[in-house]
Amino acid sequence: MDGICYTEHKDIEHVFSNFFTNLWSDTSANSVSDLVQALPDDLPTISQNDGESLIAEVSKKEVFYALKSLPSGKSPGPDGLNSEFYCFFWNDLGDSLFEAISYFFNNSVIPNSWGQTFITFVPKKPNPHSVTDFRPISLCNVCYKIIAKILAIRIKNVLPKIIGRERCGFVSNRSPFDNIIALQEVVHSMDRDSKNPPRMLVKLDIEKAYDTLSWNAILATLYRMNFPSRWISWIKACISSASFSFLINRQPSPWIKSSRGLRQGDPLSSYLFIIVAQNLTALLNFSLRQNMIPGFNLDLNRNFNHLMYADDLILVTHATRKTARNINLCFSIYDRLTSQRANKSKSDIYFPSRFNHRLRLSICRILGFTTGSFPFTYLGISISPKRLALSNFSRMLDKTERILSNWSHSKISMAGKTILINSILMSIPVYYLSVYPVPDSVLDGITKAATAFFWSKGGNRKGMNSVNWTDITLGHSEGGLSIRNLRASKISLMAKNVLSYLNHHDAIWVDILINKYGIVNFWTDSIPSNCSWFFRCLCHNANLIKPLLWLYHINPNLTDIMFHPWYFEITLAFKPTYLNMNVNLDLLRISDLLIDNAWNLNLLHDMFGDFLNFDYLTCDKSSHCDGNWWVWYPKSKNHRLTSMVYTHFNGVVDNIDPWIGWRFLWRLKIAPRPKHFFWMLLHNGIKTYDYHYRLNLGPQTLCRFCNLDFETAEHLFNSCPKAQATWLLISNFIGKQILFHDGFSNGNWLCPSNPDLNIFDQSVIVATAWLLWKARCNLIFQSEVPDFISIAIRAINHVREYSYSYPSHSGNQMILNNFTYIDSPFLFISSKGSCETGSFGAGFYLISANSQLLCRLVLCNITAESPIEAEAFALIAALGSLQASDHQIKTIFMANDDLHSTIKAGYSHHDWRINPLIINITDYLICFGRPAIFTTPSNWLSAASSLALLGINSHILTLFHQGRDLPYWLMKLFLRLGVSL
């Protein structure tokens, strides 16, 4: 620091403390009232309804939702507790935590300990030498984070109404891609437009944007935007409660206070920053209206002179000295208001290639910035007026090779490789593909590297490709591993831009494209000459997806009869059909076929004769007021556009149904390794002796288990005497005969046509096959004698243990709360209804340790005067039914804490009607050996609650013994919870 190297801990601590104490100290003399008068007059304001929603009373449910929405795996604050701790012990701490947080919202006071924050430092570059080479990250206490998250969630719904469309960061339904595409088109126009005055592009960096923001500017801006005073008091308490301690080599420094700045790591900071930055947008827009800082193009529907994402600012304006001076004036005002100033060492100016050199130097001297050169990076994307050279994408391949080099030293299973490839390698170009056509050679290079890594063996040796890569990129339900197909991703990610362009999406880049190229009809028009590479890619992509582009809503005045797909999936001009050539069709619009908003059937008959299905025609989806609305057909509300387009171009043929067994394979409750092994087996990719023989890589060899027959997959896992003995052991252990009459390696026993095997049985079979294969390999390569009894036991234990930790299984919650196999069977019970009508429904279900559904009941027309009475009746009905059917119970889960407390006490002081029910419940519990009772969150009892709701609408007592008897929506709910029906 200042040319002096510090090595002692106290000296380093002193340097960091002094630096940030000065940085976070507000030297401005502006009060909130002064700033309110000085802020721009045209700041947007929120409505009264929005203001009331911001200060609505906080509920316990909202606190829990905010807690659950906090990211997991984060470092704790000074109290040493992370969000997972509070989630885990919510039942014990929820009421106390809610009471403490409610105190803040009622009194606008945060305890000092909640505001305490550790600051840890992340190097910005290798071998940092000064304090500025580190990025400070705030480690806040979870209690404060919950408060900030509640405020952030509430304000998120208001931001689109008060933040200008020039800003796309942290605002709902806005994407950084909008600004990236707009900037690409701006740069392309800057270098080619010779009709308009020369433009310049200023890439401006705000110095220490979060650390230097004035608190008074935040409060004054909120006041001018008409935020409620109560909300402003909450924000003031949040930002002023912070105190900081620096973690230097894991040792905390003494605490310091700040008087300005926002914490990086605070859920609220980004939203407060963009609200204050709206002042800058207002100043720039005022300068635009006054022609002080002219915009990009006056012909646009809404001209603009800047784009902003968080603290990344781009100015687009005329390249004149006058404009440069006005930019300085604008930022000087903004600096005095908010303490935000430009970092001149990190800001650049970009001019057209033909621009006057002397004027260029003059503008740079006025602004104090340097001249930049193309391409430059904006939000991670290279921006250039010309097509990017192949060398600009070489860092993608370099990054791929660097990652694979690190992985090659580790022993990774095929399941692990699948996850790594999909989550890391194939995600490298995805961000780019949304805004720029990455060359196919680069995408193929990444795919080639991923393929080699997927099939490689230990020691970086090349492996044998047993399954075609095209099949691997298919979805799980089509027989693949869902590894991303980058070429299909290139089409699908650009498809949303095609729809945005056709539907005139309210984005700046759409406005620019329409102004530059007009509305291109992709069925008739060619790609415009000298267009940008983005628009060229968009047109090329539109030509690929247009066979399934449909007009969902049409404007008759804008829809061409011959060259728009208004009736068929393609335009009439390219559809073999009857047309009356005596009618001039070239200039006809749909509006010419309408009379008083109804079809002119006589004219249609003259045009098409008897070949048009007139019953299909409807005017319900036409309007003269709106534009045409394009959709991808068939449109599905359950899938995103990119997902549907990707599936279509990823080699899936719509009229061919894939084998149904693939879907059931990936539902099995086993670890990924056995699943991937069996996936290879189904693709005939397991490298048995017979596999090598078929490829002429070795002789036919006898099975190493029995030495009686040649080793094939079918023999090894089915007909081999050792395998049959193993299946007999499995049959004895699970109490069900395991036979494969149609063969083993074809996997037909996975299909629903084999109802004798449930998901637990199928999981055990796959786990056993995997362990048999491991035993076979160990016998060949390590001379280990297989223990087939151990294989059977290990397979069953594997499935049982994995069932509890399966992500979509309710057992995941139970094992996290220390419920184990010995605590089963588990009874889940719930009641739902209304005290006003006195009508309640009750539902329960009983599951075993392996998540097998044993019994469930839907009970209707319970007459009760309170929820506790209804829950008591439901529990009595459940216990009585289970006792009559000779079921056992070890653990009971319910949601009514009052009933739980009353059962423990043995009687109720408040409601005498409950006491006879408590006596009845106690008698039942004694008969069942006093099972443990626990009060659980409502999400644990979602299935039981759904059964209870069904009971309200039912008029008979219904007992379901088979899962397939349930209504379809209830079946889906149980399957989603991981319960075997």
pLDDT in tens, 627-645: 788 888 765 555 678 888 9
DSSP 866: S
| HSE, side-chain direction, 13 A CA sphere, residue 563 | 12
811-976 — its CATH code? 3.30.420.10
Per-residue confidence band for 809, with pLDDT thresholds at 50, 70 and 90: very low
* Separation CA 66–CA 83 (nearest Å): 10
306 strand-pairing partners = 315
Q: Give the sheet arrangement for strand 370-371, strand by strand.
A: 306-309, 312-318, 199-205, 348-350, 370-371
Q: Which residues contact 37 (CB under 8 A, 6 or more apart)?
A: none
Cβ(244)–Cβ(117) under 8 Å? yes
Q: Which of 413-422, 496-505, 733-742, 912-921 has the lowest mean pLDDT?
A: 912-921
Residues in the chain, overall count: 981
| pLDDT of 624 | 60
| pLDDT of 895 | 83
Q: Give the rounded percent of residues in the chain with a pLDDT score beyond 70.
A: 88
| pLDDT of 291 | 94
Cβ(847)–Cβ(760) under 8 Å? no
Q: Which one is predicted more confidently, 26 or 29? A: 26
Amino acid in the structure at residue 965:
D
Q: Which two tokens stand for residue 622?
A: 């036409």
Cβ(827)–Cβ(892) under 8 Å? yes
Cβ(120)–Cβ(106) under 8 Å? no
Q: Got the DSSP string for 356-406?
A: -HHHHHHHHHHHT-EEP-SSEEETTEEE-SSPPPGGGGHHHHHHHHHHHHH
What is the rounded average pLDDT of the residues 493-510? 92
* Separation CA 467–CA 623 (nearest Å): 52
pLDDT at residue 873 greater than cutoff 90: no
Q: Got the DSSP string for 514-527?
A: HHHH----TTTPPP
Query: Mean pLDDT for the chain?
Result: 85
Q: Got the DSSP string for 525-560?
A: PPPPTT--HHHHHHHHHHHHHGGGEEEEEB-TTT-B
- The pLDDT tens digits of the residues spanning 912-936 come to 678 888 888 888 898 888 888 888 7
What is the rounded average pLDDT of the residues 358-382? 94
pLDDT at residue 655 greater than cutoff 50: no
Cβ(464)–Cβ(685) under 8 Å? no
Q: Which one is predicted more confidently, 893 or 291? A: 291
Q: Which two tokens stand for residue 281?
A: 């947008």
pTM comes to: 0.77
710 strand-pairing partners = 702
Phi and psi, residue 554, nearest 5°: -120, 150
| pLDDT of 818 | 47
What is the rounded average pLDDT of the residues 740-757? 86
Q: What SS3 state is found at 354?
A: coil
Q: Which of 312-321, 760-769, 971-980 has the lowest mean pLDDT?
A: 971-980
Using CB atoms within 10 A of its CB, is residue 175 exposed (0-12), middle (13-18) or buried (19+)?
middle
Cβ(303)–Cβ(296) under 8 Å? yes
What is the rounded average pLDDT of the residues 343-350? 92
Q: Which residue has the tokens 């904006």?
A: 378
What is the rounded average pLDDT of the residues 301-307? 93
Per-residue confidence band for 967, with pLDDT thresholds at 50, 70 and 90: low
| pLDDT of 375 | 92
Amino acid in the structure at residue 596:
D
- The pLDDT tens digits of the residues spanning 443-488 come to 999 999 999 999 988 655 677 888 999 999 998 988 999 999 999 9
| pLDDT of 1 | 55
Long-range contacts of range 286-294, CB-CB < 8 Å, 24 or more positions apart? 286/40, 286/42, 287/326, 287/330, 292/323, 292/326, 292/329, 292/330, 293/317, 293/323, 293/326, 293/327, 293/330, 294/197, 294/318, 294/323
Amino acid in the structure at residue 198:
P
| pLDDT of 961 | 43
Q: Which two tokens stand for residue 959?
A: 């007992």
Q: Give the rounded percent of residues in the chain with a pLDDT score beyond 90.
A: 46
Longest dimension (CA), the chain: 98
Alpha-carbon 588 to chain mean position = 46
* Separation CA 738–CA 796 (nearest Å): 14
| pLDDT of 897 | 83
Amino acid in the structure at residue 705:
F
* Separation CA 149–CA 155 (nearest Å): 10
Phi and psi, residue 126, nearest 5°: -65, 145
Q: Which two tokens stand for residue 518?
A: 């007009």
* Sheet strands (E) in 755-838: 826-834
DSSP 517: H
| pLDDT of 828 | 86
| pLDDT of 307 | 95
What is the rounded average pLDDT of the residues 791-801? 86
| pLDDT of 608 | 73
Per-residue confidence band for 972, with pLDDT thresholds at 50, 70 and 90: low
| pLDDT of 962 | 43
pLDDT at residue 816 greater than cutoff 50: no
What is the rounded average pLDDT of the residues 34-46? 91
Q: Got the DSSP string for 62-100?
A: HHHHHHHHSPSSPPP-TT---HHHHHHTHHHHHHHHHHH
CA separation, residue 569 to residues 139, 561, 565, 572, 573 (Å): 56, 13, 6, 9, 12
SS3 content of the chain, % helix, strand, coil (to 5): 50, 10, 40
pLDDT at residue 66 greater than cutoff 80: yes
- The pLDDT tens digits of the residues spanning 823-854 come to 778 888 888 887 777 788 888 888 776 667 77
Phi and psi, residue 586, nearest 5°: -65, -40
What is the rounded average pLDDT of the residues 318-329? 96
Q: Which residues contact 369 (CB under 8 A, 6 or more apart)?
A: 202, 204, 344, 347, 348, 349
Angle separating helix axes 721-734 and 759-782, nearest 10 degrees: 140
Residue 138 burial (CB count, 10 A): 18
Number of H helices, E strands in the chain: 38, 22
| pLDDT of 612 | 64
Per-residue confidence band for 194, with pLDDT thresholds at 50, 70 and 90: confident
What is the rounded average pLDDT of the residues 151-169? 91
| pLDDT of 956 | 52
| pLDDT of 542 | 92
| pLDDT of 802 | 77
Q: Which one is predicted more confidently, 793 or 565? A: 793
Per-residue confidence band for 616, with pLDDT thresholds at 50, 70 and 90: low
CA separation, residue 843 to residues 674, 848, 956, 976 (Å): 36, 17, 13, 18
DSSP 31: -
Q: Which of 131-145, 698-712, 903-917 has the lowest mean pLDDT?
A: 903-917
Every domain of the chain with CATH number 3.30.420.10 lies at 811-976
Q: Which two tokens stand for residue 643?
A: 């997902």
Q: Which one is predicted more confidently, 610 or 819? A: 610
